[in-house]
Amino acid sequence: MTLAGESLDLVVIGLGYVGLPLAQEACRSGLKVTGLDVNAGVVATLGERRSHVDDLSDADVEAMLAAGFVATTNPAVISQAKTVVICVPTPLADDGRPDLGPVLAAAATVAGHLTAGTLVILESTTYPGTTEELLRPRLEESGLRIGVDIFLAFSPERIDPGNPVYGFRNTPKVVGGSTPACTAAATAFYRLVVDEVVPARGTREAEMAKLLENTYRHVNIALVNEMARFCHELDIDLWDVIRCASTKPFGFQPFYPGPGVGGHCIPIDPNYLSYQVQAALGYPFRFVELAQEINNGMPSYVVHRIQNALNDVAKPLRGSTVLLMGVTYKADISDQRESPAAPIAQKLAEQGARVIFHDPYVPFWTVKGLELNRVAVLEEAVEKADITVLLQSHSVYDLETLGRLAPLLLDTRGAMPDLPSVERL
Ligand SMILES: NC(=O)c1ccc[n+]([C@@H]2O[C@H](COP(=O)([O-])OP(=O)(O)OC[C@H]3O[C@@H](n4cnc5c(N)ncnc54)[C@H](O)[C@@H]3O)[C@@H](O)[C@H]2O)c1
């Protein structure tokens, strides 16, 4: 535990997928780092040298602890910090509106322990204006002046879980401060932990940059998802189309269709932007709404295609065994947040199918209170299932062998070899 009065280079608030890699890189850079989380379970796990996020191994956590990292639930550590970075979740409320509860709670915690000279940075993805309109007034309640006594900035996180090439250090970091002095202070901090820092004009530009990146993905995925539907009707292999278009060396970036969008960013963040445009300006952000409609419709479309494929071999969906292969939102990681596999399983179960699953990263899977059976031997289950659906193409899957064993297989990722029993989305 840190000694009272001892100075800390960094306190990271929120030790999840975003906060922990930041803390790790800061430890590697020789900074004295403490992590603060409200979840005592997370703090205890880290203290036991165990990692709970995909991008860090237990050995990584052990190395952090050896470098002096401490995880705690005690907010008093904030008063010892030179820099505080907030990495708490920004989910949607039940009615689809942004839920800034965790950000506001973290802001109140920081404000309660703030000392002169501290740099406070928000990394949680949020709508433009959050840093200035929500965070700034709370920090100023301390009587300390932004840009003079304390420094405030926003810096979007760009972590891509499971990406073997781009990690924390070699992904450029956008930084926008409340004042030029705040931008300068935040830039100087991030230069300690990343190779390239990109200063933005202000906090709003930095906040909006993140939303542009995610909305761009959301819209382009929706474009190919819509094309997937009519390419199927027209008997055109869209994956081959994308392969050909991708040979253009300029002006084109490939996006791929799939069973829907998942993860913490794409299905959620654009809502923050469309909510703010509607609330502040009174008109919709139509691209986001259309993308949402198309991407959210993909799980139903997949179920419809499963039903049609079974129908072609004279089987009803009711009573058929449907094996879902890969249920995480992304290949080669264990994160299931917002995975389209969940609505697909739910819709299939509602229609009377016997749903079973396999995923090397998911030992137990519960969808809306229903625990699904995980198959023990994948090859055997693929052979026996009425239909197998490849939802996530984890690289450990031997797709050639599985494709040959399956009597019927729907490939939602365009990853299977051409075989008579395999149908593409
Ligand atoms: N996961 C990603 O790939 C990713 C990528 C880019 C941006 N983001 C954004 O980063 C932010 C954090 O996401 P995440 O994936 O790391 O979330 P996470 O759920 O993995 O981790 C968040 C952590 O914050 C803790 N927490 C919640 N409220 C707190 C509080 N008031 N004080 C202290 N700790 C608190 C939680 O207990 C949890 O451990 C979100 O805004 C998200 O949109 C995530």
> Residue 422, Cβ neighbours under 10 Å: how many?
20
| Strand ranges of the sheet holding 8-13, from the earlier edge strand across to the other edge | 70-72, 33-36, 8-13, 81-86, 119-122, 151-154, 173-177, 197-199
Residue nearest ligand 1's atom 27 by CA:
88
Ligand 1 atom with the shortest distance to the CA of 36:
33
pLDDT given at position 5:
59
pLDDT of residue 1 exceeding 60: no
pLDDT of residue 61 exceeding 60: yes
Query: Distance from the CA of 175 to the center of ligand 1, in angstroms?
Result: 19
Q: What angle do CA 80, 154, 114 make, to 5 degrees?
A: 25
Instruction: Give the residue, out of 11, 15, 18, 135, with the most ligand 1 atoms within 8 A of its beta carbon, to mutate for a pocket test.
Output: 18
Any residues with CB less than 8 A from the CB of 370 and at least 6 apart, and which?
345, 346, 349
Ligand 1 atom with the shortest distance to the CA of 105:
31
Q: pLDDT digits over 241-271, tens only?
A: 999 999 999 999 999 999 999 887 888 888 8
pLDDT of residue 2 exceeding 50: no
Q: Residue 255 is which amino acid?
A: F
| Residues recognised as catalytic | 265
CA distance 218 to 209: 14
CA distance 255 to 169: 25
Give φ, ψ of 107 to 5 degrees: -60, -40
Binned at pLDDT 50, 70 and 90, residue 382 comes out as very high
Ligand 1 pocket, CB under 6 A: 13-19, 36-39, 42, 87-90, 102, 105-106, 109, 124-125, 157, 159, 161, 264-265
- Residue that is written with structure tokens 């009587």 in the block: 143
CB 375 within 8 A of CB 357: yes
Tell which residue, 221, 289, 284, has the closest CA to residue 257: 221
Residue nearest ligand 1's atom 1 by CA:
17
CA distance 182 to 267: 31
Ligand 1 atom with the shortest distance to the CA of 17:
16
- Per DSSP, 397 falls in state S
